[in-house]
Structure 1
Amino acid sequence: MRYLFKFRNLLLVAGIAFTFTACSQKSEKIQEYGKPALYWYNKMITEISTGYLEDADDTYTSLESEHRNSPLLPTALLILANGHMDEEEYQLANFYLDEYIKRYALSKNIDYVRYLKIKANFMGFAYDLRDQQLIDDTIADIDNFKKTFPRSPYMPLVNTMSGRLFMAKASLDKEISDLYNRLGKEKAAIYYLKKAKDSWVEPKEIEEVDVPFYRYPFERNMFLDRVYFK
């Protein structure tokens, strides 16, 4: 009984200590406001460099809310976008890139930001048999980029991504055409084969989608469902 009493007391003391520590940390975090823009910027850089991206997101929020006109904001947005791209968090990267485009559309390096957005979408194209809309949207962004920034130094990179996306689009249409052939639906097969040729002149050059064996049944079933219910 005496040992049980001591054990309960120990748990109580540990619980109280934890509560006070948590409250102290929370209080310290709440009190961290009214800092100069450079303070928040440097803190964000430190958090990114040490792998604490979520904390960096919160720190950027403090920077942006307390210093809305700071000249550090554009750079902070690009650093966060690149940080999330490095971690393959492409939706978050796009969030910061969209924010940059919305606020600094007349920036002299806006072509770089538009290029990064295309790259984020391209890198986010993870499932060749699923992301048809993402392909179409990114191809449209590339077309707009070429018209708006014909002399951009990023054009060779954009052209490379464009070629690979058109091949992916052709690959998808060729898969649908082959399926309709197996189903005996000749007109539909011819229609999708023509679409594949419109994206890539020679369908024989199209590389088949490389789907890992553990994901193959799942990906293939989603693909079939999309064709049947088109």
Structure 2
Amino acid sequence: MQLFGAFRAILVVGILLFTMQGCASKEESINNQSASYWYDKIIRSIAISALTKADDYYSSLHSEHPSSPLLPQAMLMLATAHAQFDELILSQYYLDEYLKRFGSEGEREYVSFMRVKNAFLDYRHPNRNQKFLDETIETIESFTQTYPDSAYLPMVRHMLLRLELGRETMKEEIAALYDRIEKPQAAQFYRQKERMSMVDAHYVKPAEVFWMRALFE
């Protein structure tokens, strides 16, 4: 009976060791894959909108194959996918990383345009953050100076115009606020700040804000 018990214990231990070895082998096989394997996983994950999975697979591709020619394309795919899902911070991260490491002049122009577009889309609330608005305008103006002959220039200028209109509206609202609290000098200061040369502030239509949000702004 004792012999049978010992044999049974040995058998259980053997099964456990075999199972653990199998799991370790499986883990090793998952972690050590070709660059094309991880690239394919990224594409498939993006196709089904599983961007968290795609980010994980990109991390594996980046850590196991840091010099792979598939890496820059994976960055651009993920940047585009995150932008489409309104995850602009993650999109901007991939674009910044791409500009640091890769790209011909033409590719860098496209990526820089995507960064400008993300910055424009990220400025959603025209009455909230003046500093962020100014920084976004500076980003767009920098693009126009760096790429004066860019094919994207008409779109970039349209973005710039809309943001500058928003800035004019913000100045007038701040001035009106100072009028209400009887501080005419401060109101005059904001009305006399540098304005857009192509637009008369009297013709700037204020941005339409949802009434409930307007209560808090």
TM-score scaled by length of structure 1: 0.78
Mapping for residues 99-114 of structure 1, pairs under 5 Å: 99-104=97-102, 106-114=104-112
CA apart distance, 1:212? 1.1
For residue 66 of structure 2, the aligned residue among 60, 65, 68 is: 68
Displacement of 1:55 in angstroms is 0.5
Residues 37, 67 of structure 1: 8 Å contact kept: yes
Where do residues 204-223 of structure 1 align in structure 2 (5 Å cutoff)?
A: 204-218=202-216, 220=217
Amino acid at match of 1:217: L
Which residue of 112, 125, 128 corresponds with 1:130? 128
Distance 1:89 1:48 in 2: 13
After superposition, residues 1-230 of structure 1 pair within 5 angstroms as 31-104=29-102, 106-195=104-193, 197-198=195-196, 201-218=199-216, 220=217
* Structure 1 contact 167–200 (Cα < 8 Å) conserved: no
* Largest Rg, 1 or 2: 2
Q: Deviations over 1:60-85 (max 9, x none)?
A: 11111111111111111111111111
Instruction: Tell me how far apart the structure 1 counterparts of residues 94 and 119 of structure 2 sit (CA, whole Å).
Output: 13
What is the distance in 1 between the residues matched to 2:23 and 2:81? 26
Percent of pairs with identical residues: 37
2:45–2:53 CA contact under 8 A, matched in 1: yes
What's the CA shift for 1:148? 1.1
Q: Is the 8 A contact 1:196 1:203 kept in 2?
A: no
Q: CA RMSD in A?
A: 2.2
* Alignment partner, residue 8 of structure 1: none
Question: Equivalents in 1 of 2:49, 2:24: separation in Å?
Answer: 21
**Equivalents in 2 of 1:199, 1:174: separation in Å?**
16
Task: State the alpha-carbon separation in 1 of the partners of residues 115 and 179 from structure 2.
Answer: 37
Corresponding residue for residue 225 of structure 1: none
Q: Which amino acid aligns with 1:46?
A: R
Deviations 1:147-187 (A, max 9, x none): 11111111111111010111111111111011111111111
1:27–1:96: structure 2 CA closer, same or farther, 3 Å change rule? farther
Letter of the aligned partner of 1:55 in structure 2?
A: K
One-letter amino acid of the structure 2 residue matched with residue 214 of structure 1: M
Distance 1:141 1:179, change over 3 A: same
- Partners of 2:96 and 2:41 lie apart in 1 by 23
| Residues 1:70 and 1:202: Cα distance change in structure 2 (over 3 Å) | same
TM-score, scaled relative to structure 2: 0.83
Structure 2: tracts of 5 or more residues without a match: 1-21
CA distance 1:190–1:50, change in 2 (3 Å): same
Q: Unpaired segments of 5 or more residues in structure 1?
A: 1-23, 221-230
Do the aligned residues in 2 keep the contact of 1:85 with 1:120 (CA within 8 Å)? Answer: yes
Count of matched residue pairs:
196
CA 1:27–1:200 in structure 2 vs 1: closer, same or farther (change >3 Å)?
A: farther
Separation in 1 of the partners of 2:212 and 2:197? Answer: 29
